[in-house]
Amino acid sequence: MDQSDGLILACLLDGPGGGRELNWEEIRTWSPEDGVLWVHLDRTGEQARSWVSNETHIDKATTETQGRKPL
């Protein structure tokens, strides 16, 4: 998978220990009724930063990385 967009891996978890891999389109159409969404991102990817900032309900103070050293 090309990780230049910041998506390392996303899975829809089924509860008993399984799941299936998702792409950006599937992430964007996910709803809580679908199950647990697990997303692993590279914060240097523009699409990942945009998704976190504009399409999630994560508090802005939590998502800001300015002034932090890279992990």
Domains of the chain by residue range: 7-62
| Residue 43 reports pLDDT greater than 70 | yes
Banded model confidence at residue 60, pLDDT cuts 50, 70, 90: confident
Q: How many angstroms separate the Cα of 53 from the Cα of each of 1, 20, 43, 47, 58?
A: 23, 25, 11, 10, 8
Of 36, 52, 49, the closest CA to residue 22 belongs to 36
Rounded Cα distance between 7 and 50, Å, is 12
Q: Can you give the pLDDT at residue 66?
A: 56
Strand residues in the chain grouped as ranges (E): 7-13, 19-21, 36-41
Q: Evaluate if pTM is beyond 0.85.
A: no
pLDDT digits (tens, 9 = 90+) for 8-33: 999 999 889 999 999 999 999 999 99
The H or E element containing residue 50 is helix 46-54
